[in-house]
Amino acid sequence: MEKTSKYEVGQKVNLVILRETDLGFVVQINDVDEGLLYHGEIFERLERGQAVPGYIKKVRDDGRLDLVLQPLGNFGSEELGRQILETLQAHGGFMPVNDKTTAEKIYELFGVSKKKYKMALGGLYKRKLILIKEDGIYEVKA
């Protein structure tokens, strides 16, 4: 992997899965460079040759690139919040999921990491759109 500074943290890129290693998957970035998706950052099945969108997580001092499959930070939380609200409404205002739900279940329902889900859930809670209880989340009726 050559040293590169043409990428910025958070930048959306096109990835192609090249091979699996002990750490994760080596991927081709924008048909040019290589980077690594760590196993702990992957919440879906990946196959060699598969094309997926990704994001630059870190540009290392040696120029190597760490990647993730979901936007970093709060980016995308508002859109995910809308998706959670719509799903909650479709289920009559209650779902038996909360901030303690397993990462696997969250990915199955919403296609995101638990961290992203909790960020979006927190945003909905702060805006007083939901209640979070032990048995799940409830829509707050206006």
Calculate what percentage of the chain has a pLDDT beyond 70: 92
- Looking at the domain assignment, is residue 3 inside a domain? no
The 10s digit of each residue's pLDDT in 15-54 is: 999 999 999 999 999 999 999 999 887 877 899 999 999 9
Total of domains in the chain: 2
Query: Is the pLDDT confidence value at 1 over 50?
Result: no
Tell me what pLDDT residue 71 has.
74
* 24 and 46 housed in the same domain: yes
Q: End of a domain among 24, 43, 68?
A: 68
- Looking at the domain assignment, is residue 35 inside a domain? yes
5 against 35, higher pLDDT: 35
Q: Which domain holds residue 64?
A: 12-68
Phi and psi dihedrals of 55, rounded to 5?
-140, 145
**Domain CATH code at residue 100:** 1.10.10.10
* 30 and 84 housed in the same domain: no
* 84 and 133 housed in the same domain: yes
Query: Is the pLDDT confidence value at 5 over 70?
Result: no
pTM of the model: 0.59
Strand order in the sheet with 94-95: 94-95, 136-139, 130-133
pLDDT mean across residues, the chain? 87
